[in-house]
Amino acid sequence: MANLIFLPIADQIESTTYLVYDGACGTGGMLTVAEDTLHRLGEEHKKDVSISLYGQESQPETYAISKADLLLKGEGAEAENFQHGSTLSQDAFRSRQFDFMLSNPPYGKSWKTDLERMGGKSGIKDARFIIDHAGDPEYSMVTGSDDGQLLFLVNMLSKMKQDTPLGSRIAEVHNGSSLFTGGAGSGESNIRRWIIENDWLEAIIALPLNMFYNTGIATYIWVLSNRKPEHRRGRIQLIDATAWSRPLRKNLGKKNCELSEEDLQRITETFLAREETECSKTFPRETFGYWKIRVRRPLRLRVELMTGDLERFGQLCQAAKEESLPGLLKQVAEKSGPGPHLDFNKFALRLEAVAEESGVKLTAKRLDLVRSGLTSQDEEAAPVIRKEGKPKKDTDPAREALYGRYAMDRDGHTIAIEYEPDPAFKDSEQIPLLEDGGIEAFFRREVLPHLADAWIEEGATRVGYEISFTRYFYRPEQSRTLEEIKADLYKLEDESEGLLARIVGAR
């Protein structure tokens, strides 16, 4: 990680003091390795580099080990820069900014206690995690309480230097959930969106499995900078280094491999190179974004006024202390027939007319009682109209229909209508940001041919980001040839020859 932070800008290092920070410092090992690497690069470039280390650790034992390690090395001043407490709820360096930051935050660890200290998910106001972005002054990057690892990255990004030539560089290790957990609009997706839309993400490197002592899961190094070089701007590099390792002579817990010096050099060289290879691919940042739309369909209701239906409804009215409706419905049945009535709006008008003749007001409560007691859904029925109005001037009817607003001719006039959505149907679609023609072209091509009455729920569209290594580095296993399969079948046939006769003869 130290190489990935320092090597890309080694020729820009100046004789100055650099602040290096780890927000989940563990034993402080990564910080001391970073310090050694930066000193070495300074010597190679004939620069007098001064380094100050800062770290924070929540576990008392680990914090004490970090302090003791620095004191034993004679770095008492550095030891004073190590603080005890949770980075999330007790940020010890709130007003500081750092040149270089690196961390290996806890994976899949609950941060519920921190969240409660900070006011809960609805009450949190920490300026690191509630920001102004994408036109939303209350843009939330608060993740689920079961895993707070991405918040450690947000904490570091809040401490970037904005007014120096080199800005800040960050490297942080995460497991795979940081790449894709959380749908559009979630805290996790909002973090990825914030990072990618600000063009801070340089690369993500997939590491070999079983690299850590207590877990065999996949891990990834995120490399970020707010001073990306010109050739990286607007693009993100993915590196598949899962096959670059050497086995250990003896397993250490679940750790059975490590990165050799050659592997580290190969990762570094791949990161620095611009070539597209089987293990290194670069994409426009929009590749990882998508719109999530909500698809709705109209509610379609039929009404039955058969004798049995009216008797059951009468019992419902009796329980609701509603005396007028049974008689009104009986009149509708006599005038218009028992049904089925396949247009609820027309049926409601008939009922309203009968009610007016009888001097009864058809209130919304009474109409709701009819809907709950006498209707059922039917795909052959007409859509239930929720709202009618005057169409806006200069509107495109075809586009309006995509968002559930339809133009209809009635009595020589054009009216705008909105159908009532079916509460049982709530589908969604993910549409890539790079989709040719955008949301509307996708919807016309992929949805309307199958659901002609569907529409996009306006106001429910969200932007999300996720990164799938499998999608870009999938390598299918080579299928066996027909000759190999035939050879196996012949071998099984030879082995089983006479077996059936022996089984039958044994009876």
Average the pLDDT over 248-264 and give the result.
87
Q: What is the pLDDT of residue 415?
A: 84
Mean pLDDT over the full length of the chain: 90
Q: What gap in Å lies between CA 177 and CA 446, rounded to an integer? A: 29
- Encoded tokens for 266: 């190969």
**H/E stretch holding 20:** strand 17-22
Distances from the Cα of 204 to the Cα of 92, 172, 181, 267, angstroms = 28, 10, 16, 11
Residue-range domains of the chain with CATH:
2-175 (3.40.50.150)
Nearest to 377 by CA among 342, 349, 406, 352: 342
Predicted confidence band of residue 498 (pLDDT cuts 50, 70, 90): low
Contact 155, 23 (CB under 8 A): yes
Q: What is the pLDDT of residue 248?
A: 87
Q: Which residues, at least 6 apart from 114, have a Cβ–Cβ distance to it below 8 Å?
A: 86, 88, 89, 148
> Which pTM value belongs to this model?
0.86
Q: What is the pLDDT of residue 407?
A: 83
Average the pLDDT over 17-45 and give the result.
85
The DSSP output letter for 285 is: G
What is the per-residue pLDDT across 278-311, written as a single tens digit (0 to 9) for each?
999 999 999 999 999 999 999 999 999 998 989 8
Q: What gap in Å lies between CA 325 and CA 313, rounded to an integer? A: 9
Give the percent of the chain with pLDDT over 90. Answer: 59
Q: What is the pLDDT of residue 492?
A: 80
Q: Which residue has the tokens 């310090």?
A: 35
Q: Which residues, at least 6 apart from 227, have a Cβ–Cβ distance to it below 8 Å?
A: 165, 166, 167, 168, 169
Q: In what order do the strands lie in the sheet with 405-410?
A: 385-389, 413-419, 405-410
Whether the pLDDT of residue 421 is over 90: the answer is yes
Q: What is the pLDDT of residue 503?
A: 67
Q: Assign 383 to helix, strand or coil.
A: strand
What is the per-residue pLDDT across 125-136, written as a single tens digit (0 to 9) for each?
999 999 999 999
Q: What is the pLDDT of residue 484?
A: 83
Distances from the Cα of 67 to the Cα of 18, 24, 53, 74, 75, angstroms = 20, 14, 12, 11, 9
Whether the pLDDT of residue 507 is over 60: the answer is no
Whether the pLDDT of residue 493 is over 80: the answer is no
Least confident range from 92-101, 323-332, 487-496: namely: 487-496
- Encoded tokens for 164: 């120096």
Average the pLDDT over 126-147 and give the result.
94
Q: What gap in Å lies between CA 300 and CA 385, rounded to an integer? A: 9
Q: Which residues are bridge partners to 383 per DSSP?
A: 300
The DSSP output letter for 277 is: B
Give the percent of the chain with pLDDT over 70. Answer: 97
Radius of gyration of the chain (CA): 33
Helix and strand element counts for the chain (H, E): 18, 22
Least confident range from 71-85, 110-124, 254-268, 452-466: namely: 71-85
Whether the pLDDT of residue 506 is over 70: the answer is no
Whether the pLDDT of residue 122 is over 90: the answer is no
Dmax (CA) of the chain: 101
Q: What gap in Å lies between CA 326 and CA 221, rounded to an integer? A: 70
What is the per-residue pLDDT across 438-449, written as a single tens digit (0 to 9) for each?
999 999 999 999
Burial class (CB in 10 A: 0-12, 13-18, 19+), 115: buried
Predicted confidence band of residue 482 (pLDDT cuts 50, 70, 90): confident
Q: What is the pLDDT of residue 330?
A: 92
Q: What gap in Å lies between CA 4 and CA 491, rounded to an integer? A: 54
Q: What is the pLDDT of residue 92?
A: 93
Predicted confidence band of residue 500 (pLDDT cuts 50, 70, 90): low
Beta strands per DSSP E along 212-315: 219-225, 235-240, 246-252, 255-258, 280-284, 289-296, 301-303
Tell me the backbone φ, ψ of residue 121, rounded to 5 degrees. Answer: -60, -35
Q: What gap in Å lies between CA 316 and CA 309, rounded to an integer? A: 11
Distances from the Cα of 445 to the Cα of 69, 234, 371, 437, 506, angstroms = 63, 29, 35, 10, 66
Helical segments of 390-479, H only: 397-402, 438-446, 469-473
What is the per-residue pLDDT across 353-390, written as a single tens digit (0 to 9) for each?
999 999 999 999 999 999 989 999 999 999 999 988 88
Q: Which residue has the tokens 């969240």?
A: 115
What is the per-residue pLDDT across 49-96, written as a single tens digit (0 to 9) for each?
999 999 999 889 888 988 888 888 887 778 889 899 999 999 999 999
End-to-end CA distance of the chain: 71
Predicted confidence band of residue 435 (pLDDT cuts 50, 70, 90): very high
* Count of C-beta atoms within a 10 Å radius of residue 63: 21
Q: Which residues, at least 6 apart from 153, have a Cβ–Cβ distance to it below 8 Å?
A: 103, 105, 170, 172, 174, 178, 191, 195, 222, 224
Q: What gap in Å lies between CA 314 and CA 322, rounded to an integer? A: 9
